[in-house]
Structure 1
Amino acid sequence: MKVVYLIGNGFDLNLGLKTSYSDFYTYYLNIKNNDPQIAQLKEHLKHDKDNKGKYRYWSDLEIAMGEYTKKFSRREDMEKVYNDLNDNLRDYIMKIEQDHIQSGIDKDKLKRDLAHPEKYLREIFKEDFRLYVKKWETLTYETCIISFNYTNTIEAILNMKDTDIINIGQTIYKRDNLLHSIIHIHGLANAPFIGLNDASQIGNELFRDDIDVQDFLLKPKINEAVGHLNDRRSLEYISQAGMIYLFGVSLGETDNLWWEAVGERLKRDCRIIYFVYNPDEHPRPNVLTRIRRKYKDFLLSKTKLTLEEKQAAFDRIFIVHNSNMFNLKKKQE
């Protein structure tokens, strides 16, 4: 059976890394640059943040950047500002990645969590999970991680090279669970990229059909230009997955391609465990069902499924709320 993880920034935040957009926001605004157009972008971001409150997600930056294209009349100026933003992101992530993450990190727990995320389900849902995966009880699991992060923290913790295949444990039916690949669909620290999902998110209508603008603003176009087939490989994995796990992802609009692909897979024989985290939610037993329903509806709202298809897919989604999944810091003695 093919198993797919879609892992976002919540993973790195669990490690204590300052990889949130708000962290980069502070860093970027403090970098001096005499170019007036770059200074105007920073003022726009600052003003936007003041209006919206605290930034939470990288998609906030990407959406703001798409809207800011309205300020440009020349493609060259737009690309210059974009390159400055992206270059500073590269410098910031490379600095963050140099921070120590190995000390006090529980490698074995990472493997256990990857091999058995179902352990965080409530007992009744564990039973549903077991009944579903029983059809693959004699098979080895082939696991792929699709990472939305610029860091290689998972590889570093597992000491995993590009071509490595790692046995991360056994399935509940005592078969091998092999981690085959980790795909970074937004690039790595030395060559990260931020961008939009599609041309409709380019705020300046004059540039929406400009192929050159699309080449540096749209994530699918950037992946295509890099030529590493990451998009194609990831979509293929998702289309064949029997289990999909979502962790640390905000389901932002600038990554709609992936949520829509997950939705397509839900039309067929697939189950999802969606790990959600909201420290402001402390659910009482009488509201647990309501909370699960809210997050299922939120995930399904990001797909292109019809109402009838969403209703059919609803019970194929398991919600895990505020769990200990991927909390890898070892307790101090």
Structure 2
Amino acid sequence: MLNLLWIIGNGFDRNLGLATDYRSFLKNRYFKDGVQNKYRDELVKRVEGFSPERASELWCDLENLLGRASAFYEDDEELFHETFENIQDEFLDYVFRESSRMPVELPQEAVQEFRASISSFYTRLTAVDVLKGLPALMSTSEDVTVHVLVLNYTNTVNRFWDEIGKDQPFGKLIVGTTPKFFYQGTLLHLHGEINDGGTATNIIFGVSDSDQITSPVYSSKVDFQELWVKEKKNYGIYGNTKTAEMSELIAKADSICIYGCSLGESDGYIWRQVADRLSDSACRLYIFDYGLPDRSTVAARAYQKRRRDLARRFYEVANVAAEDEKSISDRFSRLSQLRSLISIHLFN
């Protein structure tokens, strides 16, 4: 049995039409006109340039803010904790309210599109992408187990996953004259999730490593790390084995697809393990980029630059040494737009 691992981030929710990006949270909730918040006002005083106008759409930039702001709160650790616990509560409630806009009954055409995306994404790749990147999944009739590592907090992926799970196997491909079947494996919310009732469970919000906490006072404190370093909170506070489960999923993957992820430093511990898997196996990596220009038009040069920049970004956040980039690149598929998951739009 072959293993296909999808790593899905907030881009999935945004593709559905949900305004769950960082900038929307700041504008529509945290800095909304008429909203009073003493922690926000203090944060603005202490951290120069913190405003919705300067914010990106990426949640990793909020987590980067946490690490950067620590240096400005060395005089009041309790205030730091209260400030970012308040931000966490605010954004979880905001994201839950956005996700509550999802219809009770998912449109069947959207469910079928998700099914095709998860199991047969390679049928929509270019010929070169298929030849270079999918020897394991395409050259044999061996069945495939599909696993999903979810990095966002909503249950939107779960809902689609549950729908296609009503049929097992949920996908089929004919290789030569032999059918290849696709079965569901593990779905893991690495950073916790918000259920239908709005209750948040085992939420992880913070940085990847203690060296991303800019305050030398706090970066060496074990108690501080347990609260704001992702791996340490899952293990030390929640007492779960999610990080180990994530490592196992990556370690046994024959192909890895990254969709809707910002490749932020705050998830560096994940990207390093992906890079390690690429370097010590025949595993292939696909990064699907929503903003990738159409290479078949006059935008070919813009496509080339975007592809190169995104590959460089992966090397940086995965901490790949320059001398190891060549071996990694041999496992790195040409980047493509995935014209399947990104076509599921439930809202304008």
> TM-score, length-normalised on structure 1?
0.88
Partner of 1:183: 188
Q: Distance in 1 between matches of 2:254 and 2:331?
A: 11
Please show how residues 151-170 of structure 1 align to structure 2 within 5 Å: 151-159=154-162, 167-170=169-172
Q: Contact 1:164–1:180 (CA<8 Å) still a contact in 2?
A: no
Q: Distance in 2 between matches of 1:19 and 1:45?
A: 24
* DSSP-derived class of the 1:2 partner: strand
Among 75, 78, 84, which residue is 1:76 paired with? 78
Tell me, yes or no, if structure 1 residue 273 matches structure 2 residue 273. no
Partner of 2:124: 120
Which 10-residue stretch deviates more, 232-241 or 287-296? 287-296
Distance 1:306 1:201, change over 3 A: closer
Tell me, yes or no, if structure 1 residue 306 matches structure 2 residue 321. yes
Percent of residue pairs bearing the same amino acid type: 21
Tell me, yes or no, if structure 1 residue 244 matches structure 2 residue 244. no
Partner of 1:198: 209
Q: Which amino acid in structure 2 is aligned with residue 65 of structure 1?
A: L
* DSSP-derived class of the 1:48 partner: coil
> TM-score, length-normalised on structure 2?
0.84
Q: Contact 1:3–1:241 (CA<8 Å) still a contact in 2?
A: yes
Provide Cα deviations, 1:226-261, integer angstroms capped at 9, x if missing partner: 233211101111011110001111100100001101
Among 322, 328, 333, which residue is 2:344 paired with? 328
Distance 1:270 1:172, change over 3 A: farther
Provide Cα deviations, 1:88-109, integer angstroms capped at 9, x if missing partner: 1221122122112445461011
Q: Distance in 1 between matches of 2:347 and 2:90?
A: 34
Tell me, yes or no, if structure 1 residue 223 matches structure 2 residue 234. yes
Q: CA deviation at 1:323?
A: 3.6
Tell me, yes or no, if structure 1 residue 23 matches structure 2 residue 21. no
Stretches of structure 2 lacking an aligned partner (at least 5 in a row): 195-199
Q: CA deviation at 1:44?
A: 5.7
* DSSP-derived class of the 1:273 partner: strand
Q: Contact 2:285–2:333 (CA<8 Å) still a contact in 1?
A: yes
| Runs of 4+ residues over 6 Å off in structure 1 | none
Which 10-residue stretch deviates more, 41-50 or 22-31? 41-50
Residues matched between the structures, number: 327
Q: Distance in 2 between matches of 1:197 and 1:271?
A: 24
Indicate the RMSD between aligned Cα atoms, in angstroms: 2.8
Which 10-residue stretch deviates more, 19-28 or 67-76? 67-76
Q: Contact 2:47–2:69 (CA<8 Å) still a contact in 1?
A: no
Distance 1:83 1:114, change over 3 A: same
Q: CA deviation at 1:75?
A: 2.3
Which 10-residue stretch deviates more, 289-298 or 13-22? 289-298
